[in-house]
Structure 1
Amino acid sequence: MNGVMVKWAGAVAEAELSEPLPRRWAHSQGVARRAAEVAGILGDDGELLASAAVLHDVGYAPRLAVTGFHPLDGARFLRDEHKADERLVRLVANHSLALLEADERGLRKVLEAEFPLLGDQRLVDALIYCDMTTTPDGEVTSVEARLAEITARYGADSLVGRFIRRAAPEILAAVGRVESALAAQPR
C-alpha cells in the first residue's frame, strides 16, 4: 500500500513530528504499520486507514497545538493548511473515541460541529485498533496493556485518565470487532 495519499500523509506527519516529538513520531509510524496489517479487511479504504494512522497524532506538534486537544488541532491543520480529504480529516478528528475526551475538555460541541463522526464503523474501529495496540515507542502491544500504560502515564484522576476509563469499554469492543474480522479472513 504505497498510494499517493499514504506517501503524502507520511511526509506531513514526519515533517511535523519527527524532530520536535520523536517518540510521538515513533508511535505514529507503529500505528501506520498496524494499519498496513489490517488494511485487507477494509478493501478500498485501506489507503485511507493508513493515511489516518500516520497522521492521527499530528495535532501534538508544538506549532499546531492551538487548543491543546490534539485531535481537533490536527484535523484543523489538515483541513485548513492542506485541504485534505474530508474523510481523512474526520478520522483524525475523531480517532480513538475523541468525542469522549472532547467532552471532558468542554470541546465536544466544537468537535461535533466541525468534524462529524464518520458513519463507517469498520474504519473507526480499525483506527482505534491500530492506535490502541501500539505503544508510545511504536511497538505492538495488547489493548489491555495500552489502556494501563495510558492510565499510568497520565494518572487515573487526570482528564485523560477519566477519558480513558470512560472510553475503555468501547475501545475493547472495537478491538474485538477488528480481531474477529481479521480472524475471519481467508489465510
Structure 2
Amino acid sequence: MATWACAVAEDELAEPLPRRWAHSQGVAQCAERLSATMGGKAELLLSAAVLHDVGYAPRLAFTGFHPLDGARFLRDTHAADELLVRLVANHSFALLEAEERGLRETLEAEFPLLDDQRLVDALVYCDMTTTPDGAITSVDARLAEITGRYGSDSLVGRFIRRAAPEIFGAVGRVEAALAAQPR
C-alpha cells in the first residue's frame, strides 16, 4: 500500500506543488521513524502521511477543502482502503476546519472519525512536526508558521487557534509513547 500511496502522491503533487510534495515526503519520513511504535498499523500510517495533502492538487480541488477533496479522490478514483481514506479526510483535526467552512456534516457523513486514537495522534504528530519544506520542526514553530502564512484572522488561522489544544495533546501523547519505548 505504501509504495502505491507514494506514487499517487508524487503524481498529483510533485509537479504542480513541489513544496507541498516536499512537506508530504517529510511527513512520510516522520511516519517511518514511528513505524516501530505502530506495529501492524505502520504501513497505513505511512500511506496516510504521504497522501494527507493530496487534495491540494489543483485538478482535485473541487471544494477547496483539501482533506475532503483528497479523501473523495482516493475513494472514488482509487477505491483506496477505507481506513486510509478516513485518516486522510480527518487528518490534523480537519473536522474543526470543516466546521469553519460549513462542511462539517458533509465530512462526518462521508468519512467518520476513526476510533484508533494512537493512529490519529501519530498522523497529527507527523504533520504538525514537519515544515512546509519537509524538515523536522517543533509543534510550536509549526503552528506559528501556519498562522503566519494564512493570517490569524483567516479561516485557517481561526481553525488553528481552535485546534491547537487538540494538536498539542496529540503531539504530547506521541512524544510520551516515544519516550517510554526501550532504547
TM range (shorter): over 0.9
Structure 1 residue 78, shift from structure 2 partner? 0.1
Instruction: Give ranges in structure 1 of 5+ residues lacking alignment.
Output: none
Instruction: Please give the TM-score of this superposition, normalised by the length of structure 1.
Output: 0.97
RMSD: 0.3
Q: Say which is worse superposed, 117-126 or 37-46, in terms of deviation.
A: 37-46
Structure 1 residue 172, shift from structure 2 partner? 0.3
Structure 1 residue 85, shift from structure 2 partner? 0.2
- Name the structure 1 match of 2:52: 56
Moved beyond 3 Å, runs of 4+: none
* Pairs within 5 Å for 1:155-170: 155-170=151-166
- Name the structure 1 match of 2:101: 105
Match of 2:172 among 161, 164, 176: 176
Aligned-partner Cα distance in 2 for 1:96–1:40: 21
Aligned-partner Cα distance in 1 for 2:16–2:178: 35
Count of matched residue pairs: 183
- Name the structure 2 match of 1:36: 32
Structure 1 residue 9, shift from structure 2 partner? 0.2
Structure 1 residue 159, shift from structure 2 partner? 0.0
* Pairs within 5 Å for 1:105-144: 105-144=101-140
- Name the structure 2 match of 1:15: 11
Helix, strand or coil: the match of 1:74?
helix
The yes-or-no answer on 1:149 pairing with 2:106 is: no
Counterpart amino acid of residue 34 in structure 2: V
Structure 1 residue 42, shift from structure 2 partner? 1.3
Match of 1:86 among 82, 89, 98: 82
Counterpart amino acid of residue 101 in structure 1: E
Structure 1 residue 40, shift from structure 2 partner? 1.6
Counterpart amino acid of residue 20 in structure 1: P
Q: Indicate the percent of aligned positions where both proteins have the same amino acid.
A: 80
Counterpart amino acid of residue 152 in structure 1: G
Aligned-partner Cα distance in 2 for 1:57–1:174: 19
Structure 1 residue 39, shift from structure 2 partner? 1.6
Structure 1 residue 110, shift from structure 2 partner? 0.1
Counterpart amino acid of residue 135 in structure 1: T
Aligned-partner Cα distance in 2 for 1:104–1:30: 27
